[in-house]
Structure 1
């Protein structure tokens, strides 16, 4: 099974969740060889719960994922922490939504939850917790206490950072970081736009039906990361298209209500 463990299903935090856009994203993900994604949408995206309301109306949820447009879609969040950095939290729908509700008072910059508290809240809840892009210039994680970093399950070899920092140098840095902390490294495209799908993915040794299956295979090293030889053009194209689409939607981002409900 091939899975991307860091994806977004909205163009940006300020746009509405569009079912049509989601269907287009899933079709392209499948066309790029993926069988599954972790839907790690930003926890403070506008009307986060809309995503689940739409998916619940249109797709079955079983085991721990939605079966959507021929893809397994595992629920998740990307959470900003106070110390600077992002944490991917992947798990059962009810647990993800419960954690999101708990984070409601912490959605604004300057008020983000601290790392230790997020770890405590997500402990023993069956989550797969991944440190996102630990060496990204603007939102690193490598500066945080090792004792806390070791409570994560893995770290993110991120498509955007490969593009900006170069594959070999970046992979060497991430692998050394993970090895030092005794944690594996997994791949995630960090896409917001479908052109980026297939840039980075994980090929698992077997089929994952639950998040616990994902955790077990990652822990056992029963997977390999695939980095596309076309990564640079995929990420660059996605960035250009995303910028153009956001420009066209700029009036709606200033006043999201004006866009109306396009989620059905």
Structure 2
């Protein structure tokens, strides 16, 4: 199984979820050779629960993942913590939604949940817990208490960071950091649109029919991380396309009562 463990469903936090847009993304994910992905949408994205409500109407759900044709979509979310940093939580849909409800009072930047408190909540569920992009300058994790970091299952080798900081340099830093903590490294494209799929992925060597199976494969080392030769080009093109799509959406966006533009969901875009 080829799986991307860090993906998004929407162009940005401010945009609405678009079934047409996401179906195009899924088609590209399949075309890139992926068999599965974890949908780790930002926990404080606009209308978070609507994302899963729409997915329920779009694809069959077997209790563990959505069946988008040949592609398996495992539920998850990306959570901001007070100390600065992002944590990926991947598991059963009811667990992800249950934890998200517990975070209703922590969605604003000045009130994010403390890392230790988030881990205490997450520890009540059989989740795969990944420290996202630990060396990203804006949202690092390497500065946190190591006893708390060890509560995570793995750390994220991130396509955006490999592009930004250099593939070999970033990979070496993340792998050394994870090794010091006795943790594995997982691959995530961190894509918000289709061009980044396949730039970075995990190849699991055992059958996985649940997020728990994926977690066990990662913890037992029954997988490999693959980095595409085209990663730099894919991420560069992705960043450029995202900028264009966001600008187009903003030009068409209605103005809210607060005077802020609400980014409409992009429609079908031929790529």
After superposition, residues 123-162 of structure 1 pair within 5 angstroms as 123-162=123-162
Q: 1:69, CA displacement in angstroms?
A: 3.5
The TM-score, its normalising length taken from structure 1, stands at 0.96
After superposition, residues 10-21 of structure 1 pair within 5 angstroms as 10-21=10-21
Aligned residue for 2:11, secondary structure, equals: coil
1:69-88 Cα distance to aligned partner (Å, 9 max, x none): 32100000100000000000
Q: 1:108 to 1:46 in 2, by over 3 A?
A: same
After superposition, residues 74-85 of structure 1 pair within 5 angstroms as 74-85=74-85
Per mean C-alpha deviation after superposition, the further-off stretch among 61-70 and 236-245 is: 61-70
Aligned residue for 1:110, secondary structure, equals: helix
1:49 maps to 2:40: no
1:122-143 Cα distance to aligned partner (Å, 9 max, x none): 1030110000000001100000
- Which runs of 5 or more residues in structure 1 are unaligned? none
In structure 2, what is the Cα distance between the partners aligned to 1:89 and 1:258?
26
In structure 2, what is the Cα distance between the partners aligned to 1:60 and 1:133?
31
Aligned residue for 1:225, secondary structure, equals: strand
Aligned residue for 1:229, secondary structure, equals: coil
Q: 1:140 to 1:109 in 2, by over 3 A?
A: same
In structure 2, what is the Cα distance between the partners aligned to 1:254 and 1:219?
47
Contact in 2 for aligned 1:134/1:141 (Cα 8 Å): yes
Aligned residue for 1:245, secondary structure, equals: helix
1:187-228 Cα distance to aligned partner (Å, 9 max, x none): 000000100101100000022101110111000100000000
Aligned residue for 2:46, secondary structure, equals: coil
Contact in 1 for aligned 2:249/2:265 (Cα 8 Å): no
After superposition, residues 129-208 of structure 1 pair within 5 angstroms as 129-208=129-208
Report the equivalent of 2:59.
59
In structure 2, what is the Cα distance between the partners aligned to 1:35 and 1:206?
13
In structure 1, what is the Cα distance between the partners aligned to 2:69 and 2:164?
31
Aligned residue for 1:126, secondary structure, equals: coil
The TM-score, its normalising length taken from structure 2, stands at 0.93
Runs of 4+ in 1 over 4 A off after TM superposition: 256-262
In structure 1, what is the Cα distance between the partners aligned to 2:266 and 2:172?
45
- RMSD over aligned CA atoms reads 1.6
Q: 1:15 to 1:192 in 2, by over 3 A?
A: same
Aligned residue for 1:206, secondary structure, equals: coil
Q: 1:257, CA displacement in angstroms?
A: 6.4
Contact in 2 for aligned 1:129/1:152 (Cα 8 Å): yes
After superposition, residues 213-232 of structure 1 pair within 5 angstroms as 213-232=213-232
Q: 1:241 to 1:261 in 2, by over 3 A?
A: closer
- Which runs of 5 or more residues in structure 2 are unaligned? none
Q: 1:58, CA displacement in angstroms?
A: 2.2
Q: 1:63, CA displacement in angstroms?
A: 4.0
Contact in 2 for aligned 1:27/1:69 (Cα 8 Å): no
Aligned residue for 1:160, secondary structure, equals: helix
